[in-house]
Amino acid sequence: MTCILVPAMAGSSASRRIPLVCGWFLTFASTAWAQSAGVATSSPAIAAVKVMKPPVIDGGIGEDEWRAATPVAGFIQYEPQRGERSQVQTEALVLYDAAHLYVAFRAWDAEPITAQLTQRDADLLHDDAVVVVLDSTSDRRSGYYFITNALGTQADGRISDDGRTSEATWDAPWQSAAARTEYGWSAEFSIPLSSIRYAAGDRQTWGINFGRSRRRSLELSFWSGPLDNQWRVSQAGRLTQLNVPAPVDRVQVVPYALTRAQDHVSPDWEAGIDARYAITATTAIYGTLYPDFATVEADQEQINLTRFELTLPEKRQFFLEGQEQFNQRAPQRYPTFYSRRIADITTGGKLLGKQGPWTASFISAESTPSGAKQSANYSVGRVQRDILGRSTVAVMASNRRFDSADQGAFSADTNLFFGRTFNMTAQAVKTYGPFGHGTMAFLIRPAYDSSTGHFHVRYGDIGKRVADNLNVIGQVVDDDRRELDSHVTKIVWVRKGAFEQFRYDSNYNGYWSQAGALRRWKGNQTMAVEFRNRMNTRFSWSEEMIEFEKPFRNREVALDVGYNTREYQSVTTGLEFGRNFDSDYLLWTGSARYKVTAALSAEYSLERLELDPDPKGQSTWIHVIRANQSFTKDLFLRLFFQTNSAIERNNVQAVFVYRYLPPFGTFQVAYQRGTAGFGERSTQGNTLFVKTTTVF
């Protein structure tokens, strides 16, 4: 059954019921939290064993090297049969010394191994892979994950909000290797303690979990479970009896030099430096001087059928560390800091730290806004306090100072957990700048989350001038609204006959202006089906009324079909049609990924938009091609090519990378043509870059 929530005009009886509904939810959720808070939850434990001689990281688990480690097994399924024992045997082992944590896996499998991904930070859980989840500050809220597949390819990231948020763009230097064995395959990890924030001292206990992905049976299992979320840190096991000192390598310096040659432009060169100093095991300061973003991959062109600004991913290294603290995401929170507002920076610094229940994050950077002749300072600070088990409260400030004028926001937010499945997010924002009225915003979002379902109701209120004040440093795509939103997701694993899984999503959204005029309502229904023959389908329908210069009635119907999409080698196609701002439209999409050889992979995607009538010439063809040739894990060639016929853009980027001190010590040769900002035409001619980076 779907719950349809229709907002009411301010002052109506329905609007007065909103606090009653929220109050009912809080009463119910508080009772659930109180009932669960008094129950001591047990989690499995593994004793850490310190070694004098580290194991060789070659993928083969040598008996002498790992003899002191006690293996743990008994993995429990997260998917598809949550709570059931894994269908295959897996063992994990742990060792450590003063500078590294070592983890090994034995993965039994009588079937052929599925491992195709060779690009770092690809979605390795679409391969046969193993993962280590590490809560090294033991706060039961945040942590890290490290993944390697049966080819030894690496992926890593940070976890926050007890698994509700993860950042795959975080990178750290660590080692991994995998090897095929008579019983299946094995893998080894070496994680430098200097790469993570951790609780130092004698007899420390960290949170840890071990996981395994097996693509043939679509199984994802973990040692400590059953989990409500695959990154649920609070349900991890315990790594006990650690005696770890403060960081051995407190200072990291990464200088670079780059030279550039471009058509009709005089050759030039530049240099810069990044540095990090670990004040304690959990606190570090970072600095950068003339960082280079020239070889960062361009934003992929995409079709936007709305009149609102898209949110683009951050790819620049300086902004990635700590991003889970700074970049608040809509719709769970209003983003009072959006790092893509900052163009190329000249200097910057930041502090990231955790001490007990307190987490502090500060960043400041100098950059010249687009079209300006003088620089601006962008500064952001956030202080967060852990409360009530897994919950948090925080205050945040973001400011741009330009031409002696300040614009930005102060905000406070909380993320409250009531037991294992109920939670609530709330936020209040006060903006400042050229406008003094209509400058506040707030939201409240109670929710239910489990491994197979989600439900939330969100009420938000945004003043008429919030975006005008905030959007020089944050991102509120629209203001002057009172909004009510609901969403239901339900996943059903069938695994009988022809069917594998059903997924149903239902979303209803509506908002009014501060004066009470209806500005928008929208309903969306989606049904997705996965079949046991690896086919899948997705059908969606939506209907919308939205007010701009006049009321528009938009609608869409979409059907997508895919094959083998849970693995790398896959193909999808889709058709969407409907009415959009007084134009009929037809949108064709398609994509394919293929392993040409064991070391060469290729991807292609297509979007074809036809509008009738098309007064602004927005009908377009978008083609995107990616190719990756891996000679070794640290020697590879990447190609990126895209076209957008609506803006006559043809963009190609190719980069050859040798990581002699992975991941930061590199030598790169790159070629570019047609690189520009998202949705912009480019005048860049043939350009060649040579860049070298080292680490001290």
Long-range interactions of 218-221: CB distance < 8 A, separation 24+: 218/79, 218/80, 218/500, 218/566, 219/77, 219/79, 219/80, 219/86, 219/87, 219/88, 220/77, 220/78, 220/79, 220/125, 221/75, 221/76, 221/77, 221/78, 221/86, 221/90
CA torsion sign, 31 to 33 to 38 to 43? positive
Please tell me the distance from the alpha carbon of residue 630 to that of residue 638, in angstroms, as a whole number. 9
Helices (H), 176-320: 317-320
Q: How far is C-alpha 213 from the chain's CA centre?
A: 19
Pairing of the two strands 45-47 and 237-244: parallel
If one counts every other C-beta atom within 10 angstroms of the C-beta of residue 371, the result is 5
Residue 629 binned pLDDT confidence (cut-offs 50, 70, 90): very high
Please tell me the distance from the alpha carbon of residue 440 to that of residue 463, in angstroms, as a whole number. 5
Helices (H), 311-394: 317-320, 323-326
Give the mean pLDDT of 421-450. 95
Q: How far is CA 484 from CA 30, 35, 454, 509, 521, in A?
A: 23, 30, 17, 6, 10
The whole-number pLDDT of residue 594 equals 93
The whole-number pLDDT of residue 323 equals 79
Residue 1 binned pLDDT confidence (cut-offs 50, 70, 90): very low
Strand order across the beta sheet in which 90-96 lies: 90-96, 100-108, 184-192, 175-180
Name the residue with higher pLDDT: 164 or 561.
Answer: 561
Q: What is the pLDDT of residues 567-622, one digit of tens each?
A: 888 999 999 999 999 999 999 999 999 989 888 999 999 999 999 999 999 999 99
Residue 156 binned pLDDT confidence (cut-offs 50, 70, 90): very high
pLDDT of residue 39 exceeding 70, the answer is no
Pairing of the two strands 345-355 and 358-367: antiparallel
Token pair 């997924």: residue: 503
If one counts every other C-beta atom within 10 angstroms of the C-beta of residue 70, the result is 12
Residue from 173, 177, 179 nearest 156 by CA: 173
The whole-number pLDDT of residue 3 equals 41
- Count CA within 13 A, CB hemisphere, residue 145: 31
Q: What is the pLDDT of residues 275-305, one digit of tens each?
A: 999 898 889 999 999 988 777 778 888 999 9
Give the mean pLDDT of 107-122. 83
Q: What is the pLDDT of residues 461-516, one digit of tens each?
A: 999 999 999 999 999 999 999 999 999 999 998 878 899 999 999 999 999 999 99
Backbone region of residue 78 per phi and psi (left: phi > 0; alpha: psi in -120 to 50; beta: other values): alpha
Please tell me the distance from the alpha carbon of residue 688 to that of residue 260, in angstroms, as a whole number. 6
Give the mean pLDDT of 237-256. 89
Helix (H, G, I), strand (E, B) or coil at 23: helix
Angle at 170 between CA 219 and CA 297, to 5 degrees: 100
Q: Alpha-carbon dihedral of residues 629, 269, 343, 695, nearest 10 degrees?
A: 60
Tokens of 207: 């949170």
Angle at 449 between CA 445 and CA 454, to 5 degrees: 80
If one counts every other C-beta atom within 10 angstroms of the C-beta of residue 111, the result is 11
pLDDT of residue 16 exceeding 50, the answer is no
The whole-number pLDDT of residue 330 equals 63
Please tell me the distance from the alpha carbon of residue 217 to that of residue 88, in angstroms, as a whole number. 10
Residue from 609, 614, 543 nearest 583 by CA: 614
Q: How far is C-alpha 481 from the chain's CA centre?
A: 28
Please tell me the distance from the alpha carbon of residue 302 to that of residue 334, in angstroms, as a whole number. 23
Name the residue with higher pLDDT: 30 or 119.
Answer: 119
Pairing of the two strands 45-47 and 687-693: unpaired
DSSP code at position 280:
S
Q: 1-20: b or e for each residue (b if 16 or more CB lie within 10 Å)? A: eeeebebbeeeeeebeebee
Pairing of the two strands 665-673 and 499-512: unpaired
Domain boundaries, the chain: 45-244
Residues 6+ apart with CB under 8 A from 11: 516
The whole-number pLDDT of residue 296 equals 77
Does the pTM of the predicted model rise above 0.75?
Answer: yes
Q: Which CATH architecture fits 45-244?
A: Sandwich (2.60)
Q: What is the pLDDT of residues 326-384, one digit of tens each?
A: 766 766 889 999 999 998 899 999 999 988 899 999 999 999 998 888 999 999 999 99
pLDDT of residue 31 exceeding 70, the answer is no
Please tell me the distance from the alpha carbon of residue 185 to that of residue 196, in angstroms, as a whole number. 28
Output phi, psi for 133, to 5 deg.
-105, 125
Give the mean pLDDT of 41-55. 88
Tokens of 244: 């770890």
Helix (H, G, I), strand (E, B) or coil at 422: strand
Please tell me the distance from the alpha carbon of residue 75 to that of residue 219, in angstroms, as a whole number. 11
CA torsion sign, 190 to 195 to 201 to 207? negative
Average pLDDT, the chain: 89
Q: Of 199-213, 284-298, 394-408, which gets the smallest average pLDDT? A: 284-298
Residue from 46, 47, 64, 49 nearest 96 by CA: 49
Please tell me the distance from the alpha carbon of residue 579 to that of residue 609, in angstroms, as a whole number. 13
| DSSP states along 67-108 | TTSPPB---EEEESSTTSBPSS-EEEEEEE-SSEEEEEEEEE
Residue from 392, 408, 409 nearest 400 by CA: 408
Residue from 2, 79, 77, 1 nearest 492 by CA: 79
The whole-number pLDDT of residue 126 equals 85
Q: Of 133-137, 143-147, 277-281, 424-428, which gets the smallest average pLDDT? A: 277-281
The whole-number pLDDT of residue 528 equals 97
Burial label for 53, CB within 10 Å (0-12, 13-18, 19+), is exposed
Residues 6+ apart with CB under 8 A from 597: none
pLDDT of residue 683 exceeding 90, the answer is no
Please tell me the distance from the alpha carbon of residue 288 to that of residue 318, in angstroms, as a whole number. 8
Q: How far is C-alpha 176 from the chain's CA centre?
A: 22
The whole-number pLDDT of residue 5 equals 37
Q: Give the chain's end-to-end CA distance (angstroms, integer).
A: 59
Name the residue with higher pLDDT: 530 or 371.
Answer: 530
